[in-house]
Amino acid sequence: MTLTNAATTRATQTAGVAYAGGAYLLWGVLPLYFLLLVPTGPWEVVAWRVLLSFVFCILLLTITRGWKAIGAIIRQPRLLGWTALAGVLIYVNWQVFLIGTLTGHVVETSLGYFINPIATVLLGVFVLKERIRRLQWAAIGIAAVAVIVIVLFYRSFPWIALSLTASFGVYGLIKKKIGPSVDAISGLTLESFWLIPIAVVQLILVATTPEGITMGANGTWHAVLLAFAGVATAVPLLLFAAGTRRINLTVIGMIQFVTPVMQFIIGAAVLGEPMPIERWIGFVIVWIAIAVFVVDLVLAARRGRRSAHTSLG
């Protein structure tokens, strides 16, 4: 490899880490942003999130001249079907996340994203028939023990955490299956498009409640913040897509823990959500599983580098 190529590779990887890191940092602070939208409830927030994400993506498609790419996708029914399913899954993820955030369960949302990487590996085994290493099996087993401990001792089924894990895990699986056939902007545009009827129905139902629609009813600052829900939704997803194209999944796997760590700190330290000893035990077990998972990633990366050096030699 020439010095020029090496420098280009390093620059690409640095950019990839910056893009992915930016995405996970933004996802990490999203609970604080959504809490600023109170008194807007989770159902209205998600409805605006869908509609405004679609508007933002239409603008991006126009600016980047991406209509040709989305036209090619529309002519393939199979791809359209996958984008519709992806849309439903990301809707579930957004809705559960908002319910958790706006009802005082930010710590539990962080649990869902702590478990997510391990659940993704499990999906790879059972759906994609991938083979995994012993340490990965150990991490899965330890994470399962953590969930059991939380259910039995904290006496609360972590449905928010497990719903977030399942929806985002399967969403990632679909994105992997679609692969490069659907670019980030086109994918998010179509996913948002499929959800427009759901968003409209939700706004109609919210309008019939005593609180009604809050857009424009709580001052200019609140309206501006709510209007940026689409940007706050789309930008991290687009940064994530840009990052994953430039760095390998091992690096992504380690960076992604930034989000749940930030959400846990926000929930436990900033918002003062309850953390009894039973819950701490469950989280400590989850962190042990994550440590095992990260060690496995590091060891696998080192083995890969040694194999590459051996083949070059």
pLDDT, averaged across the chain: 87
Contact 85, 193 (CB under 8 A): no
Q: What is the mean pLDDT of residues 198-223?
A: 94
Q: What is the mean pLDDT of residues 201-228?
A: 94
* Range in 5-14, 76-85, 237-246 with the lowest mean pLDDT: 5-14
Is pLDDT at 309 greater than 70 in this prediction? Answer: no
Most confident of 125-139, 247-261, 294-308: 125-139
* Range in 79-93, 174-188, 225-239 with the lowest mean pLDDT: 174-188
pTM of the model: 0.86
DSSP string for 33-49: HHHTTTTS-HHHHHHHH
83 pLDDT tier (thresholds 50, 70, 90): very high
Tens digits of residue pLDDT in 184-198:
889 889 999 999 999
> What's the rounded Cα separation, in Å, for the pair 259 and 30?
9
At 155 the pLDDT is 74
At 4 the pLDDT is 59
At 97 the pLDDT is 96
Is pLDDT at 53 greater than 90 in this prediction? Answer: yes
Is pLDDT at 29 greater than 90 in this prediction? Answer: yes
Contact 231, 30 (CB under 8 A): no
> What's the rounded Cα separation, in Å, for the pair 195 and 51?
8
Is pLDDT at 139 greater than 60 in this prediction? Answer: yes
Residue spans of the domains in the chain: they are 34-312
At 300 the pLDDT is 76
Quick one: residue 29, left, alpha or beta (phi over 0 = left, psi -120 to 50 = alpha)?
A: alpha
5 pLDDT tier (thresholds 50, 70, 90): low
At 307 the pLDDT is 66
Q: Which helix (H) or strand (E) holds 168?
A: helix 159-178
Tens digits of residue pLDDT in 153-163:
767 788 999 99
Q: What is the mean pLDDT of residues 279-296?
A: 88
Q: What is the mean pLDDT of residues 142-147?
A: 85
